[in-house]
Amino acid sequence: MEQHYPDWATSPLMRDYYANEWGKPVHGEDELYGLFCLELFQAGLKWESVLKRRAALTTAFADFSIEEVARFDAARIDLLCQNAAIIRNRMKITACVHNAQLLAEWHQAGKYFSPFLWAYNDGQPERLVPAEDGSLPATTPKATALAKEMKKAGFAFAGPKVVFSLLCAAGIVNGRLD
Whole-number Å distance between alpha carbons of 145 and 153:
12
Residue of 17, 18, 22, 33 marked active site: 17
The Cβ-side half-sphere exposure at 116, using a 13 Å CA radius, reads: 18
Query: Which residue among 18, 22, 33, 47 is the active-site one?
Result: 47
Q: Per the residue annotation, which of 18, 29, 33, 39 is the catalytic one?
A: 39
User: Looking at the predicted structure, is the pLDDT value of residue 105 above 70?
Assistant: yes
Distance of CA 135 to the CA centre of its chain: 19
Contact 42, 50 (CB under 8 A): yes
Q: What is the reported pLDDT for 126?
A: 86
| Whole-number pLDDT of residue 134 | 65
So where are the chain's domains? 12-174
Whether residue 47 lies in the annotated active site: yes
Per-residue pLDDT, 160: 96
Q: What are phi and psi of 173, to 5 degrees?
A: -110, 120
The answer to whether 39 touches 169, Cβ cutoff 8 Å, is yes
Residue 41 one-letter amino acid: F
Q: How confident is the model at residue 7 (pLDDT cuts 50, 70, 90)?
A: confident
- Do residues 25 and 13 touch, judged by C-beta distance below 8 A? no
pTM confidence score = 0.94
Quick one: CA dihedral 12, 64, 149, 172, positive or negative? positive
Is the domain 12-174 a CATH 3.40.630.30 member?
no
Higher pLDDT, 114 or 120: 114
5 counts as catalytic: no
